[in-house]
Amino acid sequence: MKFAKFRPMAPSQQAKSSQSARGLLTGLAVAACLLACLSVANAQAPAKQPPTAPQATPQTAPRAAPQAVPGFWDPRRRPERPDLSRLTVIRFLTETDYPPFNYTGADGNPAGFNVDLARSLCEEIKVTCTVQMRRFETLVDALTSNRGDAIIASMAVSPQLRARVDFTDPYYRVPARFASRKDAVMPEIRPEYLEGKKVGVIAGSAHEAYLKAMFTDAELHGYPNDDALRAALRKGEVDFIFGDAISLAFWINGTDSGDCCAFSGGPFVESRFFGEGIGIAVRKGNDVLRQALNWALFRVWEKGRYTDLWLRYFSVSPF
Residue at 66: amino acid letter: P
The pLDDT value given to residue 314: 84
For residue 316, give the nearest of 223, 179, 154 by alpha carbon. 179
The pLDDT value given to residue 41: 39
Q: How many CB atoms lie within 10 A of CB 163?
A: 8
pLDDT under 70 in the chain at which residues?
Answer: 1-71
- Name the class of domain 176-273: alpha beta
The pLDDT value given to residue 72: 75
Q: How many CB atoms lie within 10 A of CB 131?
A: 22
> Across all residues in the chain, what is the average pLDDT?
82
The pLDDT value given to residue 104: 94
- Angstrom distance (rounded) from CA 239 to CA 204: 20
Fold of 32-49+72-172+276-313: D-Maltodextrin-Binding Protein; domain 2 (3.40.190)
Answer whether 32-49+72-172+276-313 and 176-273 agree in fold.
Answer: yes
Q: How many CB atoms lie within 10 A of CB 285?
A: 8
Show me where the domains of the chain are located. 32-49+72-172+276-313, 176-273
The pLDDT value given to residue 76: 83
Query: What's the chain's length in residues?
Result: 319
The DSSP letter of residue 137 is G
